[in-house]
Chains A and B, each alone.
Chain A
Amino acid sequence: MTRYPSPEALDKNRFGKARVIRSEAEALAAADDVASFWRKGSARRDQVQTLPWEELEYLSHSGLNAIRLPLELGGAGIATPVYLDVVRKLAMADSSLAQLYFVDSLKGYHIDQLAKPQAKFLAEQVLQGARFGNATAERVREDGADYGATFSRDGDHYLLSGEKYFCTGSVTSHWITVPGKFADGSQAVAIVPNGAAGLELGEDWDVVGQRTTFSVSASFRKVRIPADRLIFRDDEQPLAGAVRFAQTQLVHAALQVGMGDGALQTAHRLFRQRFVAGKTRDRLAELLLQWEADSAAAWAVVQYAARKSDKALSDRLVGTHRASLAAVATDEAKSLAYVYGPQWTQRLIDFLDQGDVAEALGFDRHWRDARTHSLHDPARWRQSFVGNYWLNGRAPPDLARRLVEEQQWNGLQALAV
């Protein structure tokens, strides 16, 4: 039976308390350090699918979980471009663990949007190195607001019931965030401690790539949620929500670039070790330059989109134009990154020699990881959104939905005044 890390286990980290990161330089240095720790054994973890407790405790200890927390909550307030670079560096070493990381730290970033007591509690958790997994995905979903989990009031607390699917980080995190809805259609997000009564995590993670995310299914049977562990987001400006959502999508793009770059790093190592001179060397040298160029191109657009999203969120009220630029820039980034990862990780084959296909060496995991991850969000749709925006001025679907909500929200704000 799998053991889960409850919040009480935070002070049992074998590496000691979580560090506090204060600057971008410290964040990038910490990312290099964690990546170096993760790189050892990455292929083996993929092979035997061991739960990566030691690696995740090292992550919690590094302080990287809190870098997106704003300064006033004790974090480092790291800007999105640098945060994405942290994700990319980690994904180069082990994309599954990098995915667990960003699921965590993203929650940290949104904490400042919450009511003060909730924000204070969650910030303290993040600063102590707590990890937050999610139970967001639905097995069947008609639209973005269609949730399989439901909330009901029960005295001074709430009850959470339902099924979730693809719950990334649920097995390895101290807390799980669960979006759901009430009978009247209103939405909320529950913060559920791992190991809570009524929470059951499946043992059904059996996939081709990203094997150590352990994104299992979860069921919730009247899980008791204290009132202050339920987050209502009704007062969030919809366009701000659109940009924050775009940022979560952008992290996936950074992950893809990291996966491609991890394979590139391996290709460079093999190239230096094996190809000293000759026509093969020249051909592979040209291939490496193309690989690096495609990496740089995808990454340049990821960084561009990151700056656009930070710019949009720097306004007290996010405007339509800036929100749309951030959203479509994210689609542009995904249009390239989701092609770059799978396309180039498979080129690693060109650098292999006889015998390198041994399963234990794990050279195939780069492609398996990138291809698996890419399928959650088909690049062809992102590319179409970009085309539709720049040819026809039509908003990408998520933004279009939020524009409708924005009109209603504006109406409510006016009434409140």
Chain B
Amino acid sequence: MTLESLAAADVERTARQFLLGQVNSEDLARSVAGDRLGALSAATIDDLTRPSGISASKPGAAALEVVRQSVSDAVAGQHVATSLLARWLLDSFFPRGGPKIPDAEVLTYADPPLPDQGIAISATAEQQGGWVLRGKFRSAPLAREAGWVVLPAASGDITLLVLLNADAPGVDFEPDEKGFGARAAVNGTFTLRNVRIEQDRSVVLSGEASSSLASNFTALDGLFSLAQEIGSLKAALWEARDHLQKRAHRWYDASPGRVRDDPLVLREFGRWWASARAADELFRSIVEALDAGGPVLEQAHAIAVAANYVGRLSDRFMNEIFELLGASIMRRQTGFDRHWRNRSARLGNRPYGSRPVANAPDLEAHTKDAMQ
């Protein structure tokens, strides 16, 4: 150790703690292979479907789990977030939490699952001694694996929330074409042809209670989306760091010496790191408030602010980080481009208007906070 060089082990350990570093682990290989195959590995699925005790009723802990899974694999993060949200819908809207769905069974939801201004409900329901559903709707991820789907359905002026058995007669699922990213998170379209719904598997959405629950859902959705952004950012930053540390060939007109000593690289990398710290701290303070028992709705503004920052940061980072890493990062075997592809596919698959960055809370509340 030179006088100005700190204990390498301490720096490495602290960096790994911050970014939940995974380079050289099995996770990285799994994530790259899963991207190629368009499927999560059996080990990842085992991990995801094992009862964890984590639920969206403890949103801080749940959001941390989404980050952890997103670092190991972006699609695993989507998987956890979707399951958590689907089960939250069931627990919150249905009397006594609705029909019990075992932990090992996968739930997803129509995207969006609740009536949302500007997005029409495309499934219709008709009373025929019980509800019968017709129509089409698009799903959130996990549609291929899902045994159950939560969706809204319209019957005249009434809106229902329905728990649909994906294997029921009259239910067809058409997966999307293979995507450029998030390949293992299969979205697609469900078609319903006179699907009969059992009595305890629908609730009528009405009144303030439903509206308040819908606001909660939006906040939770924003929180888990933020968690996925943070996880993807950390994973990509960790891999970029690893690549920079090992990168042997500098550009022929660059300053002499190793790439990792190039002053322009140091500055750029420092900026990304400091920005990632900010993202992490914004997220941490939200989780801390939630862990202290504060309702998620109280954090809606902080979530929107953090999502705005992290969203813009990720937009830049996922594209511009390549500039530091050189042509060698474009070898397909590195799989590094999956970070950009996965994020872009995840965001691109969401319906217009439900992307958290565009979904800022009303400005008056925001103004009041900023004036304090």
Contact = CB atoms under 8 A, between A and B. Distances in A.
Interface stretch (A41-49, A157-165, A357-365, A393-401): A393-401
Interface stretch (A68-76, A183-191, A208-216, A380-388): A380-388
Contact of B370 (A264, A298, A407): A264
A265 interface: yes
B277 A395 contact: no
- Which of B5, B8, B245, B370 has the most chain A CB atoms closer than 10 A to its own CB? B370
B266 interface: yes
Given A271-B367, A391-B245, A296 B309 contact: yes
Interface stretch (A6-14, A171-179, A310-318, A320-328): A320-328
Nearest to A265: B371
- Which of A329, A380, A393 has the most chain B CB atoms closer than 10 A to its own CB? A393
B3 A383 contact: no
- Which of A304, A325, A390 has the most chain B CB atoms closer than 10 A to its own CB? A390
Nearest to B309: A293
B269 A390 contact: yes
Contacts of B5: 392-395
Given A289-B308, A297-B309, A404 B269 contact: no
A231 B296 CA distance: 52
A400 B12 CA distance: 18
A67 B15 CA distance: 35
Contacts, number: 146
B10 A321 contact: yes
A340 to B, nearest CB: 10
Contacts of B267: 380, 383-384, 387
Interface stretch (B46-54, B278-286, B329-337, B339-347): B278-286
B169 interface: no
Contact of B4 (A288, A391, A400): A400
Given A292-B366, A294-B309, A385 B270 contact: yes
B363 interface: yes
A384 B266 contact: yes
A309 to B, nearest CB: 15
B18 to A, nearest CB: 9
Interface in B265-302: 265-271, 273-275, 277-279, 281-282, 285, 302
Given A272-B367, A320-B6, A387-B270, A296 B282 contact: yes
A218 to B, nearest CB: 34
Contacts of B305: 289, 292-293, 296
B366 A387 contact: no
A383 B324 CA distance: 15
Interface in B199-253: 241, 244-245
B278 A393 contact: no
B261 interface: yes
Contacts of B10: 320-321, 324
Interface residues of A, number: 50
Contacts of B271: 335, 383, 386-387
B7 interface: yes
A300 B263 CA distance: 27
B11 A390 contact: yes
B13 to A, nearest CB: 9
A332 B371 contact: no
B85 interface: no
Contacts of B285: 300
Contact of A297 (B263, B270, B279, B363): B279
Given A393-B11, A394-B5, A403-B3, A292 B370 contact: yes
B309 A391 contact: no
B281 A300 contact: yes
A320 B273 CA distance: 21
A332 B276 CA distance: 10
A222 interface: no
Interface string A289-307: 1101110111011011000
A395 B1 CA distance: 12
A17 interface: no
B7 A392 contact: no
B6 A324 contact: yes
A383 B277 contact: no
Contact of A300 (B8, B278, B366, B370): B278
A243 interface: no
Nearest to B237: A390
Contacts of B367: 268, 271-272, 288
16 contacts: A288-B363, A289-B305, A290-B312, A296-B306, A297-B309, A320-B10, A321-B14, A335-B274, A382-B270, A383-B271, A388-B270, A389-B6, A389-B11, A390-B270, A394-B4, A403-B3
Given A293-B308, A332-B274, A389-B6, 14 more contacts: A286-B360, A289-B366, A292-B370, A293-B305, A293-B306, A297-B279, A332-B277, A382-B270, A384-B266, A387-B269, A390-B273, A391-B260, A392-B261, A403-B4
Sorted nearest first, the 4 A-B pairs with minimum C-beta distance are A387-B270, A386-B270, A387-B266, A300-B281
